[in-house]
Amino acid sequence: MQYGYFDDEAKEYVITRPDTPTSWSNYLGSTEYGAVITNNAGGYGFYKSGAQGRFMRLRFNSIPMDQPGRYFYLRDMESGDYWSASWQPVGKPLDKFKSECRHGTAYTKITSEYEGIKSETKYYVPLGQTFEYWRLKVTNTGSKKRKLRAFSYCEFSNQWNTTQDQVNLQYSIFIVKGEKSAPNMLRYSIHENLYIQHQKNPAINDYMSEWIALAGAPMTGFDTSREAFIGTYGNYKEPAAVLKGECSNSEAFGDNSCGTVQADIELNPGETKEIMVLLGIGDANVEGKKTVEEFGTFERADQEFEKLIKNWHSKLNSFSAVTPDEDINHTVNMWGLYNCLITFAWSRAASLVYNGERDGLGYRDSVQDILGVSAAIPQEAEERLVRLLSGQFSNGGALPVISKDFEAGKQKMIPAEKFRSDDCQWFFNAVPCFVAETGNFDFFNRVVPYADKGEDTVYGHLKQALLFNLERMGKDGLPCGLLADWNDCLKLGYHGESLFVAFQLRLGLTTYADISKRLGKNDEADWALSERKKLDENIQKKCWDGKWFIWAIAEDGTVYGTQSIEEGQIYFNTQVWSVLSGAATPEQMKTCLESVKEKLATPYGLMLCAPPFIYASRDIMSSVVYLPGIKENAGIFNHTQGWGIIAEIMNGNGDRAYEYCKAALPATYNTKAEIRQSEPYVIGQTTYSTYSKRPGNTRVSWLSGAATWNYYSITQYMLGIRPQYNGLLIDPCIKHDWDGFKVERRWRKMNLHIEVKNPSHVSKGIEYIEIDGKRIDSSTIPAELLKDGSTIIAVMGKNALPVENERM
Ligand code: GLC
């Protein structure tokens, strides 16, 4: 079933049927002022933090899943009929109500047609501002004059701390006040401001107040009391004021508030009129007044919209491609990167699933997020990287989460058993990726403080990351799993050993040796390579199970991921990371990747392990809490799919990499949305596998490491345009029958036009490259040969050039 299509030209996903299988959402705003909005205008808003700055309310996990939101109700004042400008919440029958939603770059546009009235609502937050526009354009497409009344609606939180707001009602329902403060403006405030001063989060230590204003028409009524607007026994579908046809000009005094301004719109046949709501935080008499004075005209609102689009499109234009596969094009040209940028901004803190409780930067996730955004926003990536490096303790381990008020150098050391084993190993992916992208090799020499005390160069931080794991080895000479490795559900006991981290450490040692040589520190390179040799020996001694690598060794000696056990016999991560790290012999690589194909591949992606855990002890494998076939318990964990693609690419199998890529790619499901259910334009953390009763259903949209690895594996490995320290490697690995593809890529401030030709239909292998007509016999183009506007033609073929791959 299909509910919409990709409009790549406009950089929008267009939802043509509003009754999508789940709410399909988008993001507005920035990390200062953010918003989630769905195809039915559901959602919420937050200032700086989804948890601490939640000024607009959404009832999580409710029915429907996305209410309330940012609504316009329209009422025909003659017939008394009414509807909403988005299909929901009124939900008129779909044979009479047509609706289209365009989710774009930090804006959402919803049009509707009902009984001769066309409406268009457009929602966005201007760049750098802490308010939002809701613009409503109404057209009379019929032949008689119409008298309409429009009502806006949203629910302001009583308390910006979302838990206080929704749970501590004995406090939160007694503090809210709403009033009319100017002819077209409503003011909301919290009466008692003492509480907030005792809040721990200084980032949000603001006076909790909001305002809503109407522009383009006089306000003919209003409601600030939710009870007055909705009615004691009313609901969003049938609000009392809309049924009645007028607001009661209520001023909330305790209980709950709402943002309702009322405007009258008379339309001659063919006539269009526009009104707009401006809604923001701050005092109506100060910030509200100032904002409306400056931004309250349609001309200004148009300009702000243009600015917003330009800004986002310029980031997205850092990479675009035309390949024979439309789904890959949609991903690469807009949604893959947009998803990475949103995930980078909000980490795992605010969506229809994340209620803000995971505030701050989860360490390992945030380090990985760098990979997806380095090309588009190198400066922000650098700032984030430095912040993350400063969340590393001087012992080489990391804070689990970097909170908003984190200050480097002042952090108390966490207890030994709280360290995760993988956190800082992700730097060996992220830092080289960033340096190769920007060419800023000096970044390795930049001095960054540690979380607790002292400071070191980035290079020094990397060494500490290695030492952290090398100093915490188990009895078989593999890194201890500590609290957990990448897999939060793995609880091996502090001294249990993680093979996944062993592979990460191997990659780390290789990467460190390479950087050391480049910095002229040959002793350090020798040290890293000798540690790697020892590690390799231990891996080979203990971890090959005949057809695949084991998973882990628990503290009590139990081996996980071996053929002789029934649950979790094979684990995905250790197979693909044996390849990514270079630890697998060529023979092992082939064998274990075949095992992945045989035991873990499904039509919807690659399972994390198989068979699922049912009887295992929860102390060691807490994934047993999940239903079989979901999340870490033999589900398709989308975060890992990119690793499967990269491993097959390293194996030279472009057809299989493509097959894996397509199986888990959201866009693949655009025409069969009933299977995936979630948005076909963004990733989801997890997909139910064939061990479950609902294979293919995907959950936890938007915020996941899947965003980074999906985009990164396609752009840098499948299309193979991978920056190196000194040049640009062109090393695609594609479906063999592709004739080639074209890419426009921004690299080190140069716009490059790249064309890859595949006349002999190979999957991999570049025979020669021409740069502005000049041929070179290397698959890495030296940076000095490139200039802004350069044209690169890379020809694939059987007589492939060797690949000097300098970084992963
Ligand atoms: C979630 C967590 C991530 C973890 C993964 C596997 O995605 O955010 O940190 O690595 O689960 O357990």
Given the DSSP bridges, would you call strands 750-757 and 791-796 parallel, antiparallel or unpaired? parallel
Ligand 1 atom closest to 487 (CA): 12
- Give 364 Cα–ligand 1 centroid separation in angstroms: 8
Contact 369 CB / ligand 1 (< 6 Å): no
The domain limits of the chain are 4-314, 354-471, 721-796
Q: Is 308 helix (H, G, I), strand (E, B) or coil?
A: helix
Exposure b/e, 298-314, CB count within 10 A at least 16 = b? eeebeebbeebbeebee
Q: What are phi and psi of 408, to 5 degrees?
A: -60, 145
Contact 343 CB / ligand 1 (< 6 Å): no
Ligand 1 atom closest to 639 (CA): 7
**Hey, whose CA ends up nearest to atom 9 of ligand 1?**
365
pLDDT for 206 equals 67
Contact 487 CB / ligand 1 (< 6 Å): yes
- Give 486 Cα–ligand 1 centroid separation in angstroms: 6
Ligand 1 atom closest to 422 (CA): 10
- Give 284 Cα–ligand 1 centroid separation in angstroms: 41
Q: What are phi and psi of 70, to 5 degrees?
A: -120, 90
Q: What are phi and psi of 253, to 5 degrees?
A: -140, 85
Pocket mutation for ligand 1, best pick of 486, 490, 630, 633 (most atoms within 8 Å of C-beta): 486
Q: Which helix (H) or strand (E) segment is 432 a member of?
A: helix 427-438
- Which one from 7, 452, 488, 655 is the annotated catalytic residue? 488
Contact 685 CB / ligand 1 (< 6 Å): yes
Contact 348 CB / ligand 1 (< 6 Å): yes
- Give 179 Cα–ligand 1 centroid separation in angstroms: 45
Contact 488 CB / ligand 1 (< 6 Å): yes
- Give 487 Cα–ligand 1 centroid separation in angstroms: 6
Pocket mutation for ligand 1, best pick of 347, 488, 490 (most atoms within 8 Å of C-beta): 488
**Hey, whose CA ends up nearest to atom 6 of ligand 1?**
487
- Give 792 Cα–ligand 1 centroid separation in angstroms: 39
Contact 362 CB / ligand 1 (< 6 Å): yes
Of the candidates 86, 84, 100, the residue with the CA atom closest to the CA atom of residue 12: 100
- Per-10-residue mean pLDDT of the chain, 808 residues long, equals 97 98 98 96 94 93 96 98 98 98 98 98 98 98 98 95 92 92 94 47 65 98 98 97 98 97 98 98 94 98 98 97 98 98 94 88 97 98 98 98 92 96 98 98 98 98 98 98 95 94 98 97 98 98 98 94 96 98 98 98 98 90 95 98 98 98 98 98 98 98 98 98 96 98 98 98 98 96 98 97 77
**Hey, whose CA ends up nearest to atom 10 of ligand 1?**
486
Contact 486 CB / ligand 1 (< 6 Å): yes
534 Cβ contact list (under 8 Å, min separation 6): 477
With 0.85 as the threshold, say if the pTM is over it.
yes
CB of 180 within 8 A of CB of 187?
A: yes
CB of 572 within 8 A of CB of 639?
A: no
CA–CA separation, 44 and 351 (whole Å): 9
CA–CA separation, 654 and 687 (whole Å): 24
- Give 481 Cα–ligand 1 centroid separation in angstroms: 15
- Give 301 Cα–ligand 1 centroid separation in angstroms: 40
Ligand 1 atom closest to 362 (CA): 9
Which pair of structure tokens corresponds to residue 656?
């299989």
Ligand 1 atom closest to 358 (CA): 8
CA–CA separation, 238 and 38 (whole Å): 20
Ligand 1 atom closest to 705 (CA): 7
Q: Is 139 helix (H, G, I), strand (E, B) or coil?
A: strand
Q: Which CATH number fits domain 721-796: 2.60.40.10, 3.40.50.300, 3.40.50.12780, 2.60.420.10?
A: 2.60.420.10
Contact 684 CB / ligand 1 (< 6 Å): no
Pocket mutation for ligand 1, best pick of 364, 365, 487 (most atoms within 8 Å of C-beta): 365
Contact 731 CB / ligand 1 (< 6 Å): no
Pocket mutation for ligand 1, best pick of 639, 687, 700, 704 (most atoms within 8 Å of C-beta): 639
CA–CA separation, 242 and 265 (whole Å): 15
Cα 341 off chain centre by: 7
Superfamily the domain 4-314 falls into: Glycoside hydrolase, family 65, N-terminal domain (2.70.98.40)
HEC sequence for 65-97: CCCCECEEEEEECCCCCEEECCCCCCCCCCCCC
Alpha carbon distance, N-terminus to C-terminus of the chain: 39
The helix, strand and coil proportions of the chain, stated in percent and rounded to the nearest 5, come to 30, 30, 40
What number of other Cβ atoms are within 10 A of residue 442's Cβ?
A: 10
Ligand 1 atom closest to 486 (CA): 10
Name residue 501's amino acid. V
**Hey, whose CA ends up nearest to atom 5 of ligand 1?**
487
Contact 364 CB / ligand 1 (< 6 Å): yes
**Active-site residue flag, 488:** yes
- Give 326 Cα–ligand 1 centroid separation in angstroms: 30
Looking at the chain, how many residues does it have? Answer: 808
**Hey, whose CA ends up nearest to atom 3 of ligand 1?**
365
- Give 714 Cα–ligand 1 centroid separation in angstroms: 21
Ligand 1 atom closest to 632 (CA): 12
Ligand 1 atom closest to 365 (CA): 9
pLDDT for 572 equals 98
